Amino acid sequence: MGKKIKNYLNKNSFIKNVLLLVGGTSLGQLIVFLSSPILTRIYSPTDMGILGTFTALFTICVVFGSLRFEMAIPLPKKDNEAAKIVILCMYLLLVVSFILSILILFAGNFLLDIFNMDSLQPFIWLLPLSVIGVGLYQIFEWWAVRKKTYSILSKTKITQSSSMVITQIVMGIFNFKPSGLLIGSIIGYMGGSNKLATPFIKEYFHQIKNFKFQDCLVTLRKYSKFSGFSLGSGILNNTSQQLPVILLGAFYGIEVAGFFSLTIKVIGMPTLLISRSVGKVYLGEISAIKNSSENNLNHLNKLFINTTLKLGLLGLVPFLLLGLVAPEMFQIFFGTEWITAGYYLRYLSIMYFLQFIISPVAQTMIIFERTELQFYYDIIRFVLSVGSLLIPYYVGMSVITTILIYSITMSIMYLINLFMNYSILKGANK
């Protein structure tokens, strides 16, 4: 039996790579999940709210880090061309982080006051450091996807979770609250970057050393259209995902942001990371097929359908159970104080289920260079995301009703996204 499975995996590289990357991501998220009952008994909902708001901010800022050029790394046929994109991304990341530091120095407190985020003022200086750490990891993560070194990439996911959890628990025990949560998260996001970056730096050190400003301009021009729409989509997409924590905290209080952040930490983030891991393998496989001499579009179509159906079957039962027993589960695992977060998750479970299924195959637009279509979709999604949070609040609805309306709105948008990507693929087959 074991030999048959091994032979099957050797023949089916897509399944093998998915299992490698999802396995590491899942194990890393299991570490986070198992540590959560400890963290919720060390830190308060207010502490979690500060972490959630900070995480939302740097997740939005990191999109600007390398202006989304990192997503073009798997696309060139030659490694030398892709290496130029990696080097360009590194330089852009340093420039953007410097600009962010200047902005925080002169206008940081003013901007926090506008968005009612005064609780973040002591920690805002950590933002540029977070952007550099996460940005570097993302750049070399895409290089690893190009080189299909999924085993190394998988191990970094475990390193990230372990280092984050250990730091947060130890600092919490010594009463560094909520700074322990923030510093632990930064250390976690940066974890494993050296393992991904070292092979690239060794192989292309000479090219990095001799990379000139003119080279930057040439690469910028070559991929400007791709980055332009992709950057806009990335900003809108990330902002749409992070807005609930920011707006719920501003409207209903930082404690509500803490409850919502726990649902993201326990379910939302694992769902997103696992689906992104599958998406990276999907992107690598579909890029290889498209760049091959055969360019078998029927194979692309089959890969799209199989990926969607298998993820649907895999996630159906777990997400159904979450919708039924989330409040009771949160009360048992995280303490009575956190039962409210379980009710939030009950109404978010459908949205997370659709995100789990659809996010990986949403990379199809990138492969067929329809980034402008993704950009227009993300504009609509952003507007509806903001509207689904603002309108219920201003007409006096409860936080639970607001979250339900947000979940329904985003679920509909995920289904529209699935239809758009499949239509692009079918159109390419004609």
Span 300-319, pLDDT tens digits:
778 888 888 888 888 889 89
Buried-exposed string 20-48: b where 16+ CB fall within 10 A, e elsewhere: bbbbbbbebbebbbebbeebbebbebbbb
- What ranges in 115-223 are assigned the alpha helix state H? 126-147, 150-173, 179-190, 193-209, 213-222
Structure confidence at residue 9 (pLDDT): 47
Averaged pLDDT, 70-90: 86
Both structure tokens of 61: 């800022």
Averaged pLDDT, 310-334: 89
- Judge whether residue 73 has pLDDT over 70: yes
How far apart, in Å, are the Cα atoms of 108 and each of 111, 128, 137, 239, 253?
5, 12, 25, 19, 21
Backbone angles phi, psi at 389, to 5 degrees: -100, -40
Averaged pLDDT, 248-271: 87
How far apart, in Å, are the Cα atoms of 358 and each of 63, 271, 320?
21, 11, 17
Averaged pLDDT, 66-93: 86
- Judge whether residue 279 has pLDDT over 90: no
95: Cα within 13 Å, side-chain hemisphere = 11
**CA-based nearest residue to 334, from 4, 58, 38:** 38
Averaged pLDDT, 45-56: 92
Name, in order, each residue with C-beta under 8 angstroms of 32's C-beta and a sequence gap of 6 or more.
161, 164, 165, 265, 266, 269, 270
- Judge whether residue 295 has pLDDT over 70: no
DSSP 76: S
- The total number of residues shown for the chain amounts to 430
d(CA 181, CA 171): 8
In this structure, is the dihedral angle defined by the CA atoms of residues 103, 88, 136 and 286, taken in order, positive or negative? positive
d(CA 277, CA 280): 5
| Total Cβ atoms within 10 A of residue 360 | 24
d(CA 277, CA 285): 13
- Judge whether residue 6 has pLDDT over 90: no
User: Could you read off the pLDDT of 227-258 as tens digits, one per residue?
Assistant: 666 677 778 878 888 889 999 998 999 999 99
Model confidence band, residue 274 (pLDDT cutoffs 50, 70, 90): confident
- Judge whether residue 372 has pLDDT over 90: no
Model confidence band, residue 93 (pLDDT cutoffs 50, 70, 90): very high
**Percentages of the chain per state (helix, strand, coil), in multiples of 5:** 90, 0, 10
pTM metric for this prediction = 0.79
Both structure tokens of 23: 């396995």
Decide if 340 contacts 259 (C-beta within 8 A).
yes
148: left (phi over 0), alpha (psi -120 to 50) or beta: left
**CA-based nearest residue to 252, from 120, 363, 400:** 400
